[in-house]
Amino acid sequence: MLKSAQFYEVPQGSVLGPLLFLQYIAEVAEVLAAHGFKGHSYADDTQMYISVPAAEAVDAALRLSDCIVSVESWMSSHRLKMNPDKTQLLWIGTRPQLSKVAVNEVALSTGPLGFSTVVSNLGVLFSGGSRISERGGGKDEAPQEPRSSRRRREDRGIEGAEGVG
């Protein structure tokens, strides 16, 4: 009896492709929740985040590192691979709160990854100092802070965000 090879694929450009992929990786949310993180996915990008006071940044960074290791393990067991070149870390908070954060990098299986000052999410630039802008023409353009973010209270905590690409 001959066994035929089985392939699991969805044709490129298929309307079902993104939906089936999101269903395939739905368990990642459980992995994130097990470490106290929340997340969301858009196509093949997954973002995880947590809100903590500045005083808990060291603990949050350790939990983030453990969570990323668990996500990498889950992905490996499901024939997927995390792209470390597309992984970005960002502390978000007011400038006074960010000045209290002493964590500059997180240990990953591929080596340490430093926190960025600006990251891009679907064409929108986010900076750690609560500044958001549309992607400008050049990389050196500083994002402009919207008026509403300037009114935020100084006593809010910080947020650590990570994208898995």
Across 139-144, average pLDDT? 44
Coil, helix or strand at residue 112? strand
Which pLDDT belongs to residue 156? Answer: 44
Which pLDDT belongs to residue 59? Answer: 94
pTM: 0.68
Which pLDDT belongs to residue 154? Answer: 38
Q: Which residues of 58-87 are buried (b: 16+ CB within 10 A; e: fewer)?
A: eebbebbbebbeebbebbeeeebebeeeeb
Which pLDDT belongs to residue 31? Answer: 94
Q: Is 132 in contact with 126 (CB distance < 8 Å)?
A: yes
